[in-house]
Amino acid sequence: MRPREGDPFFDKALWPAGSGGDELLVTMTLMVGGTVSGGSGCNRCSGSAEVANGNGLTIGPLVTTRMACPGAAMELEDAYVARLGAAVAVGFQLGRLAVTWSLDERHGVLLFEPS
C-alpha cells in the first residue's frame, strides 16, 4: 500500500530527530506517493517508503550521497541510515513520530519531532 494524501504519517511532513549540543541534526521527510528523504548529518539519503497493515513500515533501499565526514559524524550517520533502512513499523510516542527498526538481532526506535 502506498501512502495517500491526508494519511497521518505521510503528508509531506518533515520530522527532524531531536538533537542538541554538538550532535548532528538528522532529518526525515515521508512523502505522499511512497518516498522518504532526509539528511543524515553531512549527506542526504532517499528511497522508497511503504506502509502495510496500518503501521508496518518498509523503507528502502536507501541511496546516499557519499561526502566524507569527520570520524564520529560518519559513525553516527552510518548508524542512522542503517537503522532507517531497517524500519519495520511506524507510530507515535508522546507526540513524536516513532520508527521502530530491527537490525542484526538488535531493535530500537528512532523518534522524530515535527519541524
**pTM for the structure as a whole:** 0.75
Query: Could you read off the pLDDT of 32-69 as tens digits, one per residue?
Result: 778 888 887 788 889 998 877 777 888 888 898 988 88
Query: Could you read off the pLDDT of 16-40 as tens digits, one per residue?
Result: 555 444 455 677 888 777 888 888 7
Do 98 and 113 touch, CB atoms closer than 8 A? no
**Domains (ranges, CATH) in the chain?**
13-112 (2.40.128.270)
